[in-house]
Structure 1
Amino acid sequence: MVADSPRLGGLNREHVEVLAQCDIEPILVHRDTRRVVDGMHRLQAARLRGENLIPVRYLDGPVGEVFIHSVMANVAHGLPLTLKDRKAAAGRILVSHPNLSDRAIGRIAGLSPKTVGVVRRASTEEVPQSKVRVGADGRSRPLDAARRREAARAFLAEHAGATLHEIAASAGVSISTACEIRQRVRRGEQNEQHPPLPRMRAAPEVRDRDRTGSAGPPTDEQRTENGRVQRIETLAKDPSLRLTESGRALLRWLNERAPDLEAGRQLMAAVPLHCAVAVADLADTYAREWQRFARALDQAVGDAAEQ
Structure 2
Amino acid sequence: MDPTSVDIVALPVVEIELSRLSSVASPRTSGEDPEHIETLLSTEGELPPILVHRPTMRVVDGLHRLKVAQLRGDTKIVSRLVDGTESDAFVLAVEANIRHGLPLSLADRKRAAVHIIGTHPQWSDRRVASATGISAGTVADLRRRGGDSGTEARIGRDGRIRPADGSGRRRLAAELIRSDPGLSLRQVAKQVGISPETVRDVRGRLERGESPVPDGSIRLRAESHPLHRTEPGFARTVGRDRLAMLERLKADPALRLSETGRILLRMLTVHSIDGQEWERILHNVPPHLYSVVAEFAREHARVWTGFADSLDNWATSLAAE
User: How does the TM-score come out when normalised to structure 2?
Assistant: 0.51
1:94 maps to what in 2? 117
User: How does the TM-score come out when normalised to structure 1?
Assistant: 0.53
Q: Which whole-Å deviations, capped at 9, do the CAs of 1:265-305 have from their partners, x for residues lacking one?
A: 3313545xxxxxxxxxxxxxxxxxxxxxxxxxxxxxxxxxx
Which amino acid in 1 is paired with 2:48?
Answer: P
**Secondary structure of the residue that 2:51 maps to in structure 1?**
strand
CA distance in 1, matches of 2:103, 2:292: 22
Structure ID, larger Rg: 1
Q: 1:68 aligns with which of 91, 94, 108?
A: 91
* Structure 1 residue 264 corresponds to structure 2 residue 314: yes
* Structure 1 residue 108 corresponds to structure 2 residue 158: no
Q: 2:151 aligns with which of 130, 147, 152?
A: 130
Deviation at 1:32, TM superposition (A): 8.2
2:246 maps to what in 1? 207
**Secondary structure of the residue that 1:37 maps to in structure 2?**
strand
Q: 2:51 aligns with which of 26, 29, 36?
A: 29
2:74 maps to what in 1? 51
CA distance in 1, matches of 2:48, 2:171: 52
Structure 1 residues 61, 239: CA separation in 2 closer, same or farther (over 3 Å shift)? farther
In 2, are the aligned partners of 1:139 and 1:252 still within 8 Å (CA)?
no
CA distance in 1, matches of 2:113, 2:38: 29
The number of residue pairs the alignment matches comes to 249
Structure 1 residues 39, 165: CA separation in 2 closer, same or farther (over 3 Å shift)? same
* Structure 1 residue 224 corresponds to structure 2 residue 244: no
In 1, are the aligned partners of 2:184 and 2:316 still within 8 Å (CA)?
no
CA RMSD of aligned residues (A): 5.6
Deviation at 1:251, TM superposition (A): 7.2
CA distance in 2, matches of 1:47, 1:55: 13
Which amino acid in 2 is paired with 1:192?
Answer: S
Pairs within 5 Å for 1:1-307: 2=22, 4-7=25-28, 12=32, 18=38, 21-23=41-43, 25-29=47-51, 36-52=59-75, 54=77, 65-74=88-97, 77-78=101-102, 83=107, 88-98=111-121, 99-101=123-125, 105=129, 108=132, 117=141, 120-121=143-144, 123-124=146-147, 129-131=150-152, 144-182=165-203, 189-192=208-211, 194-195=213-214, 207-209=246-248, 219=256, 220-221=260-261, 223-224=263-264, 227=267, 239=291, 255-256=305-306, 258-268=308-318, 270-271=320-321
CA distance in 2, matches of 1:179, 1:111: 21
Structure 1 residues 194, 165: CA separation in 2 closer, same or farther (over 3 Å shift)? closer
Question: Which consecutive residues of structure 2, in runs of 5 or more, have no partner in the other structure?
Answer: 1-20, 216-231, 272-288
CA distance in 2, matches of 1:163, 1:82: 41
Q: Which whole-Å deviations, capped at 9, do the CAs of 1:193-234 have from their partners, x for residues lacking one?
A: 7548777xx9x8672528xxx955755458438749989xxx
CA distance in 1, matches of 2:132, 2:58: 20
Question: Which consecutive residues of structure 1, in runs of 5 or more, have no partner in the other structure?
Answer: 232-236, 272-307
Deviation at 1:95, TM superposition (A): 0.9
